[in-house]
Amino acid sequence: MPVDLPWTEKYRPKSLSDAIGQKLIVDRLKSFVDRGNFPNMIFAGSPGVGKTTCAVAMAKDLYKDNISSAFKELNASDERGIDVIRGAVKEFAKTISVAKVPIKIIFLDEADSLTADAQHALRRTMENFSRETRFILSANYASKIIEPIQSRCVVFRFKPLSIDDMKAYIKRIVDGEGLEMGDKAIDALIYVSEGDLRKLTNILQSAAMQSKKIAESSIYDVASRARPTEIVSMLRYAVTGDFNKARDELDNLMLMHGMSAEDIILQSYREVQNMNIDERVKLSVIKELGEANFRIVEGANERIQLEAMLAGLALIKKTA
C-alpha cells in the first residue's frame, strides 16, 4: 500500500463487516447483499457519518473483483445539471453487468445538490431501468430531494457516530500507525471533529506528521480550534459585564488560534449549553450569537460583529 495514501482511504472499511457504527443500517445492507437484490435507497445524514463508505463497502461485498463494471460513483455537486443525468447516468444504466449479481448500482453522492430538472430526469431514468439498475443517493438533507424520487426509495437515516464508535476507530489507526495518544488527546480529537469521521481522520493524520506522540495541544493547534475553557472564559467575562477582558480573550482566539468568526460563534454555541449560568442569561447569549451569525453570513465585518455581540452580553449585566 502506498505510504502517501490518505488515511481516509487507507482505513476505509473494505467490506460492511469492517464498518464502524451504524449497526442497524449495516445489518440491513448485509441482508441485501445476502439476497443479491435490494431497492433504490437514499442515505441521509450529516457529513462524515459513513454514507459513502457504506455504499462502497456494499458494492465491494456484492461485486468482488467486478466492481468497476457494476458500480458507478458520481459526485452530484460537481455536475449537478440535467446533462449528467442524460449522459453519464443514463449510459451506465443501459449497460449490462458482467458481475455475478446482475443488478448494477449507480451511487450519486451529494444528490441534494442536483437541480430540480436533473432530479426529474433522474426519476424517469430510475423508472426506465428499474430491472437492471439500482440507485443509491447520498444527501445531507433528504428534504431537498423531490418527493417522486423519495417515494421510489427506501430512506436510511444515518445517526451521528457515538463516542465509543469514534474511540474504536481512533484505536484502529493508533495501533496501525504506532502512535502514542493519551485520553485527553483522544477526547480533544473527538471534540474538534464534531462527529465527522472524515475530519477526525484528517486532523489525526496531520497531527501524526508532527510527532508520533500526539498531545492534546497538537490536536487543537492542527484543527485551529480553541480549548473549551478559553471559549467559556470569554463568554463568562462578557456576561459578568467585563467587556475589556472578554475582548482580550477574543483577541487571543482570533490571533493566537487563527479562528474565524463563524468558528468562534459555533464553538460558543456548543459551550454555552453547558455553562453554569442563569437560564435567562443563557437564552440572551444564544440570541446574541444568532444575531451575530446572521449579520456575518450576510457580509458584515466579522470583528465588529463579534465585539458587538460581547458588548450586548456585557450590557445584560449592566441593565440587570
pLDDT (tens digit per residue) in 284-312: 999 999 999 999 999 999 999 999 999 99
Q: Is residue 294 part of a domain?
A: yes
- From 225, 320, 315, select the one nearest 265 (Cα to Cα): 225
Assess contact for 245 and 237: CB atoms under 8 A.
yes
* Same-domain status, 92 and 136: yes
* Same-domain status, 253 and 302: yes
* Same-domain status, 263 and 307: yes
- Which pLDDT tens digit goes with each residue over 161-198? 899 999 999 999 999 999 999 999 999 999 999 888 99
- From 15, 118, 3, select the one nearest 57 (Cα to Cα): 15
Which of 134, 157, 180 is at the close of a domain? 157
Residue 109 phi, psi (nearest 5): -80, 145
- Which pLDDT tens digit goes with each residue over 5-45? 788 888 888 889 888 888 999 999 999 999 988 999 999 99
Q: Is residue 2 part of a domain?
A: no
* Same-domain status, 191 and 310: no
Q: What is the DSSP letter of 86?
A: I
* Same-domain status, 267 and 305: yes
- Which pLDDT tens digit goes with each residue over 101-147? 888 998 988 888 888 888 888 888 888 888 888 999 999 988 899 99
Query: What sign for the dihedral angle of Cα 72, 73, 79, 80?
Result: positive
Q: Is residue 194 part of a domain?
A: yes
Q: Is residue 1 part of a domain?
A: no
Q: How many residues does the chain have?
A: 320
Place of cell 431501468: 129
Q: Is residue 142 part of a domain?
A: yes
* Same-domain status, 116 and 210: no
* Same-domain status, 218 and 247: no
- The conformational region for residue 172 under phi > 0 = left, psi -120 to 50 = alpha, else beta, is alpha
How many domains does the chain fold into? 3
Rounded CA gap, 178 and 1, in Å?
16
Which of 199, 223, 247 is at the close of a domain? 223
Residue 199 phi, psi (nearest 5): -65, -40
- Residue 275, Cβ neighbours under 10 Å: how many? 16
> Strand, coil or helix: what is 43?
strand
Assess contact for 195 and 47: CB atoms under 8 A.
no
Q: Which amino acid is at 26?
A: V
* Same-domain status, 86 and 138: yes
Indicate which CATH number applies to the domain containing 125.
3.40.50.300
* Same-domain status, 213 and 233: no
Indicate which CATH number applies to the domain containing 295.
1.20.272.10
* Same-domain status, 151 and 13: yes
- Which pLDDT tens digit goes with each residue over 208-258? 998 999 999 899 989 888 889 999 999 999 999 999 999 999 998 888 888
Query: What sign for the dihedral angle of Cα 215, 220, 224, 227?
Result: negative
* Same-domain status, 18 and 87: yes
Q: Is residue 81 part of a domain?
A: yes
Which of 205, 223, 241 is at the close of a domain? 223
Q: Long-range contact list for 85-94, CB < 8 A, 24+ apart?
A: 85/114, 85/118, 85/121, 85/122, 85/125, 86/121, 89/122, 89/125, 90/125, 92/133, 93/125, 93/128, 93/129, 93/132, 93/133, 94/129
Instruction: Give the range of the structural domain holding residue 300, as residue numbers without chain letter.
Output: 228-319
* Same-domain status, 237 and 205: no
The yes-or-no verdict on residue 319 having pLDDT over 70 is: no
Q: Which amino acid is at 73?
A: E
Q: Is residue 243 part of a domain?
A: yes
Q: What is the pLDDT of residue 1?
A: 43
* pTM, full prediction: 0.82
Q: Is residue 82 part of a domain?
A: yes
Q: Which amino acid is at 163?
A: I
Return mean pLDDT, the chain.
88
